[in-house]
């Protein structure tokens, strides 16, 4: 029996432009239904429509939605308040923005308990602690009185889940619940959702763009594009044989080791704005299988065998076999190179780092006396050869970004050596360091925050050139800017626009162009594809790979996305609590990991082929770098830990010519 049944749902702007356009689907009791698609497809707006939480200027214009026998759009607002958080609850995408910073997490959970369960006072406090313990928050009775800023990102997401579960909902809507989380935290959150489903029989509407999460969680999948569901099938059907060209190209855009020597099949262009395509298939401008009919006639919903459906002319009566045309996917997959060149002999090292330390003082009292140190980076050594990529992976809080900034001297190192092209950078005066800035640049994680919203693209790109005296004048710099925009795949006319006029992927291209504007030899890329759709991610990865081949760039690629590491990196360093615990060639570390932490990271990655390693669960969270455990820092979370591990820090040892590990058991 369907718990939720949505028929012909239409959500539009006041001017009639449809954002959600005539979609239908159902969710059975205890079932997980995934809405899959790129940003801007209307997934989140669908969820907000069902809970009647639409923003100003957006209205429900048609269709029905029955939840547990009640017609949602026929309820009065007072009745709807009982549904929200009671029968249906929602986990929003960004927990840091969704939690009230001036209320304790206990007060925020108690609000839902009072409204939907009638619990107050001591009973509510006890239930709050039980809910926090249920979602895996340690020492829940104490932490119920803490504020959101005292929790890590993964814990904030768990608090959001606890709030949603407080009303004992029959339907939980999870909007990108694991976006930008570490693979270990993501695995914990997904396991928590599965355990809750098993215990309560709750249904789940999962909104995501991550195919790995869909493969691990969903029973059925709806693929959404430009406000419409274009394909609907069971998980097994979809992953065995995707039918719609859009779904096929999403799968082709996924990075992995098998596609290492060729560009990814990135989907050209972007999702069209609502209302911009009124006739024909909305995917036709980006489709490699489109033919004349696709631009002239809107495809109807076609029901196929075994209950799956698709919105595409290829599957209509008489449409099979037509429009095969030029397959852009195969076209893109044509080679950049045949086979991976042998890594020996290695090119000379561009960057050499020895025993780098970054410690931040902990101060207390009126006199601000130093009472301790936060050892964010604790004795890191690494090398990056010219024209190669070193990936730095690890959980949030392990010191990856701090290390990247210390290499560029944006944060002064406490000790150690950083040499770029043989020249020492640590301890340089600001004037000397300024002259060497051009050789090293950084691409930051969030292109929304790292680009000045008040400056046009041309001004953003010219700023660095002017500061380092590159180009003979403004006219010469404009010519260089045009060349840069060509390199990163943006139109030259885009330089007179502001950052808010671009999509997330386009903003990241602008950030890469800004870094390239001063002709660097080394790029430090800090999570440049985090939270991007797979199609946009493929565009950025193709761009980075082609630029490396053209300009012989070296990359330090900071990420927690191990599929990207498989595709892009030559070597991998695994970082834990300020230290490198494993280092080697990408195929050595990813296929035969020797450190228990690396093995746990790899086991937590959701895979679409179902061939993942047996899950290795890590106890607790990353320890505080202000008070690291004695001996091996990983010992408190390691299943192999012995007394020796807790007493003596392991030395680095070689397990192969190019593979080293810091572990007593390796």
Residue 331: pLDDT over 70: no
Indicate the range of 232-236, 295-299, 453-457, 500-504 predicted with least confidence. 500-504
404 in the same domain as 305: no
457 in the same domain as 416: yes
At 558-572, the pLDDT tens digits run: 998 888 999 999 999
Residue 121 vs residue 472, higher pLDDT? 121
**77, HSE (Cβ side, Cα atoms, 13 Å):** 1
Per the domain annotation, does 559 fall within a domain? yes
Per the domain annotation, does 591 fall within a domain? no
Query: Please, which residues bridge with residue 302 across strands?
Result: 310
Per the domain annotation, does 313 fall within a domain? yes
Within 8 A by CB and 6+ apart from 507, the residues are: 447, 448, 451, 499
511 in the same domain as 402: yes
Can you give the length of the chain in residues?
666
The terminus-to-terminus CA distance of the chain in angstroms comes to 53
Residue 153: pLDDT over 80: no
508 in the same domain as 422: yes
Mean pLDDT of all residues in 277-295 = 93
Per the domain annotation, does 498 fall within a domain? yes
Residue 334: pLDDT over 50: no
Per the domain annotation, does 570 fall within a domain? yes
Residue 579: pLDDT over 90: yes
458 in the same domain as 313: no
Question: What is the number of H-type helices and E-type strands within the chain?
Answer: 24, 24
Per the domain annotation, does 617 fall within a domain? no
443 in the same domain as 392: yes
480 burial level (CB within 10 Å; 0-12, 13-18, 19+) = middle
Query: Residue 583's pLDDT band (boundaries 50, 70, 90)?
Result: very high
392 in the same domain as 327: no
362 in the same domain as 295: no
CATH for 354: 3.40.50.300
- Across 319-323, 348-352, 553-557, the highest mean pLDDT is recorded for 553-557
Pairing relationship of beta strands 203-208 and 32-36 according to DSSP bridges: parallel
Per the domain annotation, does 54 fall within a domain? no
Token representation of residue 13: 């702007």
Q: Which residue from 586, 544, 545 is spatially nearest to 336, judged by alpha carbons?
A: 545
State the Cα torsion 172-176-177-179 to the nearest 10°: 170
Indicate the range of 229-238, 335-344, 588-597 predicted with least confidence. 335-344
Domain that holds residue 116: 96-165
Query: Please, which residues bridge with residue 71 across strands?
Result: 66
SS3 469: coil
At 81-96, the pLDDT tens digits run: 989 999 999 998 777 7
Q: What is the pLDDT of residue 563?
A: 87
The answer to whether the beta carbons of residues 531 and 539 sit under 8 Å apart is no
Query: In 192-234, which ranges are E strands?
Result: 203-208, 220-225, 228-234
Q: How far apart are CA 236 and CA 552, in angstroms?
A: 43
Residue 181 vs residue 403, higher pLDDT? 403
Q: What is the pLDDT of residue 178?
A: 83
Q: What is the pLDDT of residue 345?
A: 53
Dihedral (CA of 215, 218, 219, 222) sign: negative
509 in the same domain as 364: yes
Query: Residue 321's pLDDT band (boundaries 50, 70, 90)?
Result: low
Per the domain annotation, does 186 fall within a domain? no
Torsions phi, psi for 204 (to 5 deg)? -135, 125
Mean pLDDT of all residues in 98-115 = 93
Number of domains in the chain: 3
Q: What is the pLDDT of residue 188?
A: 83
Residue 325 vs residue 22, higher pLDDT? 22
301 in the same domain as 406: no
Domain termination site, one of 142, 165, 188: 165
326 burial level (CB within 10 Å; 0-12, 13-18, 19+) = exposed
443 in the same domain as 384: yes
Q: What is the pLDDT of residue 158?
A: 85
Q: How far apart are CA 390 and CA 556, in angstroms?
A: 5
550 in the same domain as 430: yes
Q: How far apart are CA 283 and CA 380, in angstroms?
A: 48
Domain termination site, one of 298, 332, 366: 332
Indicate the average pLDDT of the chain: 89
Q: What is the pLDDT of residue 613?
A: 62
Token representation of residue 515: 């870094």
Residue 348: pLDDT over 90: no
pTM: 0.85
Domain termination site, one of 586, 602, 631: 586
Residue 136: pLDDT over 90: no
Helix %, strand %, coil % for the chain, to 5?
Answer: 35, 25, 40
Q: How far apart are CA 560 and CA 530, in angstroms?
A: 8
Mean pLDDT of all residues in 530-548 = 86
Query: Residue 180's pLDDT band (boundaries 50, 70, 90)?
Result: low
């Amino acid at each position: 029996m369907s718990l939720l049944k949505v028929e012909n749902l239409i959500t539009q702007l006041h001017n009639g432009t449809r954002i959600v356009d005539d979609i239908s689907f159902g969710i059975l009791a205890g079932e997980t239904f995934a809405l899959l698609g790129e940003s801007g497809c209307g997934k989140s707006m669908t969820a907000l429509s069902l809970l009647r939480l639409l923003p100003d200027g957006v209205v429900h214009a048609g269709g029905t939605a029955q939840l547990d026998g009640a017609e949602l759009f026929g309820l009065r607002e007072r009745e709807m308040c009982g549904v929200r958080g009671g029968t249906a609850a929602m986990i929003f995408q960004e927990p840091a923005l969704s939690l009230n910073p001036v209320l304790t997490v206990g007060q925020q959970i108690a609000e839902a308990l009072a409204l939907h369960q009638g619990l107050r006072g001591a009973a509510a406090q006890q239930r709050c602690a039980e809910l926090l313990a249920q979602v895996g928050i340690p020492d829940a009775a104490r932490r119920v009185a803490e504020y959101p800023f005292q929790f890590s990102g993964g814990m904030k997401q768990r608090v959001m889940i606890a709030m949603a579960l407080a009303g004992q909902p029959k339907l939980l809507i999870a909007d990108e619940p694991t976006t930008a989380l570490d693979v270990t935290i993501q695995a914990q959150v997904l396991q928590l959702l599965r355990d809750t489903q098993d215990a309560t029989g709750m249904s789940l509407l999962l909104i995501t763009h991550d195919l790995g999460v869909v493969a691990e969680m969903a029973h059925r999948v709806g693929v959404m594009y430009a406000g419409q569901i274009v394909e609907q099938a069971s998980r097994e059907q979809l992953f065995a044989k995707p039918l719609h060209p859009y779904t096929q190209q999403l799968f082709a855009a996924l990075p992995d080791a098998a596609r290492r020597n060729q560009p990814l099949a990135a989907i050209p262009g972007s999702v069209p704005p609502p209302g911009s395509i009124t006739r024909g298939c909305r995917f036709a401008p980006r489709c490699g299988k489109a033919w004349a009919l696709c631009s002239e006639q809107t495809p109807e919903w076609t029901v196929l065998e075994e209950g799956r459906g698709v919105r595409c002319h290829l599957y209509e009566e008489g449409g099979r076999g037509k429009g095969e045309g030029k397959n852009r996917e195969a076209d893109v997959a044509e080679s950049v190179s045949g086979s991976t060149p042998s890594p020996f002999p290695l090119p000379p090292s561009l960057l050499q780092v020895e025993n780098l330390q970054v410690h931040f003082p902990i101060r207390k009292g009126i006199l601000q006396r130093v009472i301790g140190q936060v050892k964010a980076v604790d004795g890191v050594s690494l090398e990056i050869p010219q024209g190669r990529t070193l990936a730095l992976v690890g959980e949030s809080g392990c010191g990856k970004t701090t290390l990247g900034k210390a290499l560029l001297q944006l944060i002064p190192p406490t000790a150690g050596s950083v040499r770029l092209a043989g020249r020492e950078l640590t301890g340089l005066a600001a004037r000397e360091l300024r002259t060497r800035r051009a050789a090293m640049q950084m691409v930051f994680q969030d292109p929304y925050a790292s680009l000045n919203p008040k400056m046009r693209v041309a001004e953003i790109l010219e700023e660095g050139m002017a500061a380092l005296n590159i180009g003979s004048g403004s006219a010469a710099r404009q010519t260089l800017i045009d060349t840069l925009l060509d390199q990163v795949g943006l139109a030259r006319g885009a330089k007179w626009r502001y950052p808010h006029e671009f999509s997330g992927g386009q903003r990241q291209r602008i950030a890469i162009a800004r870094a390239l504007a001063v002709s660097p030899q080394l790029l430090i890329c800090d999570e440049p594809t985090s939270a991007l759709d797979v199609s946009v991610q493929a565009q950025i990865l193709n761009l980075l790979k082609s630029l490396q081949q053209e300009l012989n760039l070296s990359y330090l690629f900071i990420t927690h996305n191990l599929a990207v590491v498989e595709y892009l990196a030559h070597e991998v360093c695994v970082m834990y609590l300020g230290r490198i615990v494993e280092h080697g060639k990408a195929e050595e570390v990813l296929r035969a990991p020797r450190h228990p932490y690396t093995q746990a990271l790899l086991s937590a990655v959701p895979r679409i082929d179902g061939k993942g390693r047996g899950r290795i669960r890590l106890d607790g969270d990353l320890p505080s770098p202000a008070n690291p455990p004695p001996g091996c820092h990983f010992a408190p979370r390691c299943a192999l830990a012995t007394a020796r591990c807790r007493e003596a820090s392991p030395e680095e040892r070689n397990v192969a010519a190019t593979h080293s590990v810091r572990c007593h058991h390796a």
